[in-house]
Structure 1
């Protein structure tokens, strides 16, 4: 075994999403004198985290996006990459449609393989069904399996794998100390965004169907009817962003809803908010809900968010079918009655603090390179 363990993370792109942010949290806190991260991405353009990856000592490799029709060329490119870099000992695949290809190639070349599920696949449409079929092989070809929750594991690998010693839930952890509520930070952030004296509710997430932004706007509209001082921030980007902006105009909420795009200061934004609304259709975990709780925020979540994401006493769950008016009344009641306090110990007790997760992952990698292939 070489002195440093080399791990190749395979993922679509290293932009600011839940899985990508979790990987970067691990990278920042892992012992980089012992464990080296490299990244294989399926885009040519520069990604949000590229500069930081390079600064931390990682390398970024590029490969063509996988399509069924380019199976041969994709497989060949990945094989050549591993053959050119024998120092890579572990291939840590963050599940995608190409995982069944690159994990199998890595196994044949004697590399230890880890499949990591960060989300659920509800098979709501044809593309979901195709993705499910294309990833079925993943449950048979990896040496080890990780999931951000029990259900994310079952959904991706099946109950047989999840009930075996080859599977582990690895919490999508955060540096919880950065989220501790501070009234002065809250005041300064509101001032910087021109929201002094306002009650700020927010949401963090990509503009994609499962995040349910249309319903979110309906909730915001009902909140304004009850509390005129309320304002709303939406953090993120995605394919539906323009559609949601048009809907904000149609609902005459332009002066109330603020689109902040992709931000690096998520802890400060969470501290600034007065309430967090998270009506996802479904989530593998929903790490932003954990971040919101770490900031002591009253959090109203949907039935689509798994139980593992509820780690403090400042959370309530509501059915989406209950309607926007009920959601508005509930989050306003939570804002008035849930004290804004330090939730750090609750986060740590639930094992969502990054330091505990780093230890678990270091143990997995160390054990892997000591196993016979």
Structure 2
């Protein structure tokens, strides 16, 4: 009987975010008779993907919230690795603070230690200097460096060699379908002549929802039959709800929360708007392009995510009038069709990428 290689992914939670969705895409397509994923999470509540992880044969372990300055946290992390000698591979997704798990994994003789960069910056708050300090030591403790794109890898690993692991998706589930589009729009009482502007992402500082609401407010003044569909949750969600209410847009902004049917919701949208302050390489933009959506994004988002001819960039220094004009102009001139071949040709199909990652894990273990 072939021994299964168990890979420990170290994350914050397994809620529906870009990083977590990317991991689940790979997990679903990995050969589970050869490789299994387990997860070390840093929250004590049940996450969106937990039930699916358990159904696929994965294990979920819990540690307290990561505090890089906490002696107690480090003791618990060290204790975890001492008690779980079965792992030969850890794959860490904690951005700047990944060095802490990597350091204690090395201390406990885990031979294959992967750090994975998913972003191109950090919030410039009081924690920034601490995070920057810990980020510098990631290459010292990692045996492999992965990044979602070159801008994320360059930013996090500062001149060290890294490998790009694509934020691959299951393309066939996103292919444009008029039947699904009509079904979803009917479900939300959206008529065919209404414009649906979409966004999928956490309600947090990088995603810049407050500017998105300003843009939609301007659009709605110009085109009253417009809707804004927001998918996701996050710590800024209540602030955004308050802003929507202040503008009197409660009937026109759909706050859908965390959803498992993003692929279908995208069929109902007419255009995706993504005014992020910074990103790694958003899975959402790959998904949106696979579904045939045109996209207006900020030029802070790496151009590596541009696969179809239907993606346009604007500066966050441009005013809401310019953003609104570009959105409406793009909507008016766009004919939606099947763009899935672009995504496959660009190397973002999950099947091939999952096989590559599986072979890497198994190949590294074989060398031991």
Per the normalisation by structure 2, the TM-score is 0.95
Aligned to 2:341: 345
Which residue, 188, 191, 194 being the options, matches 1:196?
A: 191
2:295 paired with 1:296: no
2:348 paired with 1:326: no
Aligned to 2:166: 171
Asked if structure 2 preserves the Cα contact closer than 8 Å seen for 1:298 and 1:331, the reply is no
Aligned to 2:216: 220
User: Partners in 2 of 1:54 and 1:21 — Cα distance?
Assistant: 16
Asked if structure 1 preserves the Cα contact closer than 8 Å seen for 2:149 and 2:165, the reply is yes
Q: Secondary structure at the match of 2:256?
A: strand
2:260 paired with 1:264: yes
Kindly report which structure 2 residues correspond to 1:250-289, keeping only aligned pairs within 5 A, or say none.
Answer: 250-289=246-285
Q: Secondary structure at the match of 2:38?
A: strand
Asked if structure 2 preserves the Cα contact closer than 8 Å seen for 1:139 and 1:156, the reply is no
User: Partners in 2 of 1:214 and 1:4 — Cα distance?
Assistant: 46
Aligned to 2:24: 24
Q: 1:347 to 1:104 in 2, by over 3 A?
A: same
Q: 1:190 to 1:207 in 2, by over 3 A?
A: same
Aligned to 1:43: 43
Q: Secondary structure at the match of 2:167?
A: coil
> Which ranges of structure 1 fall in alignment gaps of 5 or more residues?
none
Asked if structure 2 preserves the Cα contact closer than 8 Å seen for 1:121 and 1:128, the reply is no
Q: Deviations over 1:347-372 (max 9, x none)?
A: 01111111121022112212221234
The count of corresponding residues between Structure 1 and Structure 2 is: 366
Aligned to 2:178: 183
Kindly report which structure 2 residues correspond to 1:31-180, keeping only aligned pairs within 5 A, or say none.
Answer: 31-71=31-71, 73-96=72-95, 98-111=97-110, 112-122=112-122, 124-159=124-159, 161=160, 164=161, 167-180=162-175
Aligned to 1:308: 304
Query: How much has 1:94 moved relative to structure 2?
Result: 0.7
Q: 1:318 to 1:96 in 2, by over 3 A?
A: closer
Q: Secondary structure at the match of 2:121?
A: coil
Query: How much has 1:266 moved relative to structure 2?
Result: 0.2
Asked if structure 2 preserves the Cα contact closer than 8 Å seen for 1:121 and 1:132, the reply is no
RMSD: 1.6
